Amino acid sequence: MGLEIGATHDDIHSAFRKLARELHPDVTGQKNSARFQQVTGAYTLLKSLAPEELSSLTQNLPGREKARIQKAEQKRREESQKAERSAKIDRIITRYEAEFHDYCENRKSGSDSDMKAIILRMKSGRPGVINAALKHSAPFANRVDFRKALTEILKRSEIDPTTADIAASLPFDSSTRKVIALDTSGNAANFPPGLIISLIGNDTDSMESMLLHVSPENAAVILRRWPAGKVMNDGIIRTLLASDDMRILVPLLGVIRTNFPQSAKNHRKRLQELENHPTAAVRAWSRKLL
């Protein structure tokens, strides 16, 4: 309330009236309502005190203010120490990444010891450590142990963009690519387009699995890459047709029309509903399929 130490009940009353004129919702609207409630609560407490209680309260104020300042200073020191620790860790990781790069460059790549060193670092919780290892993982891309370690990374709820980029560039064979795609498709909503494209290749099983989990934008990316002449699982078609999102429907209807128009008869009712879709392209494709 802005009161000085030693304030009397008259001082308290005057301070409240002054603040009420500045903060009351009827005067200033709702923007100061929280502050007005604080002031009202403080006034209600202070006016209920007997003179001797008020005197005892104000006599203790300097000590409480000192304690508040000490607490704030302690918090500032802790935050400063935390920032210093974080900066130190970042410096260590940067140095470690450079040292690990030198280690891999100066050794004959492809040995079991190298793979074990890389997999060990892939289990780290810090993207910097993981990425330093992945940059040297190409010789092991199709080894089972490496594939399992990478799969665990790609199943995490958040994927570092650099990690995704490096994983997308690895030289997987078709078998490894498919296993990773099927094992990680449940987290595909967190995958960037480049990683999705790398994992699905031209395998329709991987595409169908991803289509059930990706965003509408990435569903369109997959649908536009659908291999010519390949038929899509009817259950997947039904699930996708249930969407009202034109980003999914337009490429999906185009794929059906181009690759397996005979399946349209199994979804006639839904296609009839889509004839009234607000997007012209969806209406047009639906009519062509009917």
Convert the pLDDT of each residue in 50-97 to its tens digit.
Answer: 777 766 665 555 555 556 666 777 888 888 888 888 887 777 777 766
Distance CA 138, CA 126 (A): 20
- State yes or no: pLDDT of 187 exceeds 70: yes
How much of the chain, in percent, has pLDDT values that exceed 70?
Answer: 88
Q: Where are the beta strands (DSSP E) in the chain?
A: none
Convert the pLDDT of each residue in 175-186 to its tens digit.
Answer: 999 999 999 999
pLDDT of residue 69: 61
Convert the pLDDT of each residue in 128-147 to its tens digit.
Answer: 888 888 888 888 999 999 99
| CA quadruple 276, 280, 283, 287: dihedral, nearest 10 | 140
DSSP string, 91-105: HHHHHHHHHHHHHHH
Residue 260 near residue 231, CB atoms below 8 Å: yes
Model confidence at 104, pLDDT cuts 50, 70, 90, reads low
Q: Give me the phi and psi of 185, to 5 degrees please.
A: -60, -25
Lowest pLDDT segment from 28-37, 63-72, 120-129, 221-230:
63-72
CA-nearest of 176, 224, 216, 157 to 197 is 224
Q: Which residues contact 24 (CB under 8 A, 6 or more apart)?
A: 36
Top mean-pLDDT range of 31-45, 112-126, 208-222: 208-222
- Mean of the pLDDT values across residues 101-122? 71
pLDDT of residue 183: 95
Mean pLDDT for the chain? Answer: 85
Q: Comparing 109 with 190, which gets the higher pLDDT?
A: 190
The CB-side HSE value for 130 (13 A sphere, CA atoms) comes to 22
Token output for 262: 């005979």
Angle at the Cα of 181 (from 175 to 187), degrees rounded to 5? 165
Model confidence at 276, pLDDT cuts 50, 70, 90, reads very high
